[in-house]
Amino acid sequence: MFSTPLRYLSILGSLVVLASFGAFATDQIRSGSRTSTAGIEGTQVVTVNDPAGYADPTPAQERLREQLHGTVREYIDDADDVVIAPFAGISSSSSSAWVRRGVPALAGLLVYGFGLAFLARYAAARA
């Protein structure tokens, strides 16, 4: 009875977390590549503190993120903000964007991917 909705919620939550973190990682890799290339060429790159590096962005960071990313990416990131909001405080004080995004994403995957899937299997066995 409850197993099917829990299973779908588990899959959906995991997909949102993975898609958002994958997009963040892609942005970070591209930025690092541009910075390395500029360093080799002897030029300087002006970097913007990417608001995608925050699991729980402030309203100002959210507006900047909306300007920098496309519509689909913003929908994914907005859904991710809701899904990992309970875990955002774990690493919010870190200076590393990878830690600020990676730790909440990992916690979200553990809770949604493992925890809800476990509950779905448990509910199916009890029915």
What does the pLDDT look like over 43-97, one tens digit per residue? Answer: 766 555 566 677 778 888 888 888 888 899 999 999 999 999 999 889 888 888 8
Give CA separation, 59 vs 65, 91, 115, in Å: 10, 19, 31
Name the DSSP letter for residue 127: -
Instruction: Tell me how many domains the chain contains.
Output: 1
Residue 16, domain extent: 3-40+49-126
Q: Which of 76, 77, 40 is nearest to 61 (CA)?
A: 77
Compute how many other C-beta atoms are within 10 angstroms of the C-beta atom of residue 55: 28
Give pTM, 2 decimals. 0.82
Q: What is the Cβ-side half-sphere exposure of residue 83, based on CA atoms within 13 angstroms?
A: 31
pLDDT band per the 50, 70, 90 thresholds, residue 13: very high
What the block records as the tokens of 15 is: 């997909």
First to last CA, the chain: 7
Would you say residue 5 has pLDDT above 80? Answer: yes
What's the confidence (pLDDT) of residue 1? Answer: 74
